Amino acid sequence: MSRTCFVRKALEGRVLDVGHSVGPLHQEIGKERDVVGIDTVIKRPGGRVVKADATHMPFKDRTFDSLLAGELIEHLERPELFLKEGRRVLRRKGVLVITTPNRKSLINRVFRSYEKPAHLSLFSKGELFSLLGKYGFLVERWATFPYTEESSEGSSHKWFYPLRKLMHCFLPPGLREQMAVVARSI
């Protein structure tokens, strides 16, 4: 199953897309669901995108059925504030979908590709599960994916994607590059 398919299947009802992007995943979700996006920078005016911060969302409590944070949590200095705020705007038993690099991936260990300054909060599977549990989420599903065009629009290293896909097939899950987690607020 592709990363896009995994995310699309997990989402329910009204969706808040935190760190909204104009990429293909976000366009597909917008065709299927009622989606509101937030980001600190509005890349394309129009649509249902609000300029806001992931730790201070301008919505009433329990407004959304699902919250999508695609390639976002690793860029936050205080991810726990995002999780608290996300839980506040999610309805009871709402769905949280997070995609993020795996801190323990072989690619990261060799190339240090997820180091600062852009990536402030990297997690392994266990670390992410623990953080989610601490802030009121129960993990339902976890999957890994290679870092590809689906993960990053506009990357200059597209020539490397086929090799990454091949490596992904042979690595144990704990050493793979990208993680996707589906959790439910409890």
pLDDT digits (tens, 9 = 90+) for 9-31: 999 999 999 988 767 777 788 88
For residues 168 and 97, give the distance between their C-alpha atoms in angstroms, rounded to a whole number: 21
pLDDT in tens, 106-137: 777 776 666 667 777 888 999 999 999 999 99
Q: What's the pLDDT tens digit per position in 154-182?
A: 555 666 667 777 777 787 788 888 899 99
CB contact at 8 A, 61 and 8: no
Q: Give the global pTM.
A: 0.89
For residue 104, give the DSSP letter. Answer: T
Return the exposure string of 145-164: e unless at least 16 CB atoms fall within 10 Å of the residue's CB, then b: bbbbebbbeeeeeeeebeeb
CA distance 104 to 176: 8
Q: Hey, what domains does the chain have and what are their CATH numbers?
A: 3-185 (3.40.50.150)
- Express each pLDDT in 31-73 by its tens digit: 899 999 999 988 766 668 899 999 999 999 999 999 999 989 9
